Amino acid sequence: MTSDPDDYDNPIDHDGSNDSEDFDDPDTPDGGSDADPAALAERVASGDLSIHELESATDHETAAAARRLFVERETDATLDAVGRYSFDAADADPNIENMIGAVEVPVGVAGPVPVSGGAVEGAKYLPLATTEGALVASVNRGCTAIRDSGRANARVLKSRMTRAPVFRVTDVTEAEAVVAWVREHTEELREAAEGTTSHGQLVDATPYVVGDSVFVRFGYDTKDAMGMNMATIATQAACDVIEERTPASLIALSGNLCTDKKPAAIDATQGRGRTVTADVCIPREVLEDRLRTTPEAVAEINTRKNLVGSAKAVSLGFNAQAANVVAAAFLATGQDAAQVVEGANTITTANVRNGGETLYASVSLASLEVGTVGGGTKLPTQAESLDVVGVRGGGDPPGGNADALAEVIAAGVLAGELSLLGALASRHLSSAHEQLGR
C-alpha cells in the first residue's frame, strides 16, 4: 500500500486490508503475513513481538491497524473512528509512538482580522481547533470589532527559546567561580552551542546560584522553529564545555529554570519563545454596535476582573481567556499543545481615551512558543492551517514566518479578550452560551 502524502484527495485505506502482495512473506513467524494486522496483533498478544516493535515488522499503516486490534481486544473498546484519518501513518512517525490512529478535533476559522505587525501586514484568518462551543464565535465577534475599528497592531518584542541545566558544585565559593567563568567565556559557549545547528543562535547565558546548585539559563534565537529540541542539543554541547573547564558537574540538562510546560514567573517576566503584544483603539460607536457595551464598562471590568481579581488569586495570567485562543490555535497549526501553559502568561489592559470616545485595549503574551517548521507543523491538516495564515515553512528572512504566526495569534487573543469582556459588561455571557446551546 502506497500513498502520496501531498495528494490528500487519495483516500488511504486504514482498515488494515491490503490488496498488494508486496508485503506477503511466507517466512513470517507464526505463519502469518507481515501485512496481516490480525496475525501481528496475535504475535503481540503472545509476547512474540512487543507493541512498539510493530513498525519493524511491517509498514506503518499495518502496524497501526494491528495495534488497534490488540488494544480493542485488551480493552473492549471499538476504535473504528480512531482508525479513520487522512494522512499516511508514516508521516506521523516523528510525532508519535505506538500509533493507533488519530483524534479529530473540529476546526473553525475566525476573521479576517486586519493586523499591522513587524512581520505581517493585512487581513488574516486564524484557524482554531476546539471542542468548546461558542469560542470561535466569540473570537470572530472580537475580530469584527477590530476590523470595524481599522486594525490591530502587533509586534514580537523578543525571541528566546530557553534551556537551563543544573550543575552541582562543592560550595558557594566554587559556585561563584563557575558563574564568573560562564560570564567571561560566553563566546566559547556560543561556539560550542551553535556548532550543533545551522540555524539557532545563542543569544545569552545567565547563571543563577542556589547553595551548591548552579543553573545556567541559555537563550536561543531558533528562527522559524519552536526550537525546544534545537535548544536542548545545543545546550548539551555547551554543558560539555562547562564541565571540562570548571569544577561543575552536570546533574540534569533541564533544571526547571527554563521553564517548560509549567507555570513560572520567570517566563512571565523574562519571556520564553516569542514575547508578543497586540493592541487596538476601538471607537465608542463600534463597542456599542458590535459588543453592546461602552469603553467605561470594559475598562472597569478589565481592572476588577483581569487585574485585581488575578492579583488576589496570585495568578500568573492577568487575562480573561487567553489560553482558550492559544490552545485552539496551537492544535490547529501543529504546535506543542502542552506549552499553552506558558501562553497563558498574558496581561490584558484596557483604558478609556479621548474623553470617553475610545477604548484602548492590549494583550501582552510573555511566552508564546510557536514555530512554522518541524514538529507537528509537518502533518497535513496542520500544514493546511498554516497555509490559511500564510506562514507554512521557513520565512524570509529566517524567523519571519514564526514571528508572523505569533502576531496573528496575539491579534486573535486580543479579539477573544474584547469579546468576552464585552459579553460580561453587557451581561450576555450566559445568554450567548444558552442561545448557541453550548
User: How much of the chain exceeds pLDDT 70, in percent?
Assistant: 90
Q: Is the pLDDT of residue 2 over 50?
A: no
For residue 15, name the pLDDT band (cuts at 50, 70, 90): very low
Q: Is the pLDDT of residue 302 over 60?
A: yes
In the chain, the N- to C-terminal Cα span, in Å, equals: 42
- For the chain, the farthest-separated pair of C-alpha atoms sits apart, in whole angstroms, at 84
Question: Average pLDDT, stretch 298-325?
Answer: 97
Please name the amino acid found at residue 194.
Answer: E
Which of residues 8 and 304 earns the better pLDDT score? Answer: 304
Task: Indicate whether 133 belongs to any domain.
Answer: yes
CATH number of the domain residue 331 falls in: 3.90.770.10
Looking at the fold, whether 385 and 283 belong to one and the same domain comes out as: yes
For residue 436, name the pLDDT band (cuts at 50, 70, 90): low
Looking at the fold, whether 246 and 301 belong to one and the same domain comes out as: no
> Residue 430: enclosing H or E segment and its boundaries?
helix 429-436
Question: Average pLDDT, stretch 416-422?
Answer: 97
pLDDT digits (tens, 9 = 90+) for 235-249: 999 999 999 999 999
Write down the pLDDT at residue 6: 32
When the pLDDT of each residue in the chain is averaged and rounded to a whole number, the result is 91
Q: How many CB atoms within 10 Å of residue 2? A: 10
For residue 34, name the pLDDT band (cuts at 50, 70, 90): confident
Q: How far apart are CA 98 and CA 83, in angstroms?
A: 13
Looking at the fold, whether 286 and 398 belong to one and the same domain comes out as: yes
Question: Average pLDDT, stretch 391-403?
Answer: 97
Looking at the fold, whether 179 and 246 belong to one and the same domain comes out as: yes
Looking at the fold, whether 284 and 325 belong to one and the same domain comes out as: yes
- Grid coordinates given for 191: 561556539
- The size of the chain, in residues, is 438
pLDDT digits (tens, 9 = 90+) for 218-234: 999 999 999 999 999 99
Q: Is the pLDDT of residue 428 over 80?
A: no
Phi-psi region of 79 (alpha: psi -120 to 50; beta: other; left: phi over 0): alpha
Write down the pLDDT at residue 435: 56
Looking at the fold, whether 197 and 307 belong to one and the same domain comes out as: no
Strands 346-353 and 201-210 turn out to be: unpaired
- Grid coordinates given for 392: 507554512
Q: What is the DSSP letter of 290?
A: I
Q: Is the pLDDT of residue 124 over 70?
A: yes
94: helix, strand or coil: coil
Please name the amino acid found at residue 374.
Answer: G
Which of residues 388 and 10 earns the better pLDDT score? Answer: 388
Write down the pLDDT at residue 35: 84
Whether residue 154 contacts residue 361, with contact meaning beta carbons closer than 8 Å, is answered with no
For residue 438, name the pLDDT band (cuts at 50, 70, 90): low
Mean pLDDT lowest among 7-11, 121-125, 158-162, 266-270: 7-11
Write down the pLDDT at residue 9: 31
Looking at the fold, whether 420 and 379 belong to one and the same domain comes out as: yes
Write down the pLDDT at residue 257: 97
Single residue among 252, 285, 303 that ends a domain in this structure: 252
Q: Is the pLDDT of residue 426 over 50?
A: yes
Q: Which sequence positions are flagged as catalytic?
A: 132, 336, 433
pLDDT digits (tens, 9 = 90+) for 84-119: 999 999 999 999 999 999 999 999 999 999 999 999
**Residue 383's closest CA among 95, 118, 60?**
95
| Cis, bond preceding 5 (omega within 30 deg of 0) | no
Task: Indicate whether 242 belongs to any domain.
Answer: yes
Sign of CA dihedral 185, 187, 190, 192: negative
Residue 377's domain comprises: 107-159+268-436
Task: Indicate whether 24 belongs to any domain.
Answer: no
Q: Where are the beta strands (DSSP E) in 331-385?
A: 346-353, 358-368
Mean pLDDT lowest among 305-314, 315-324, 426-435: 426-435
Number of domains into which the chain is organized: 3
Write down the pLDDT at residue 395: 97
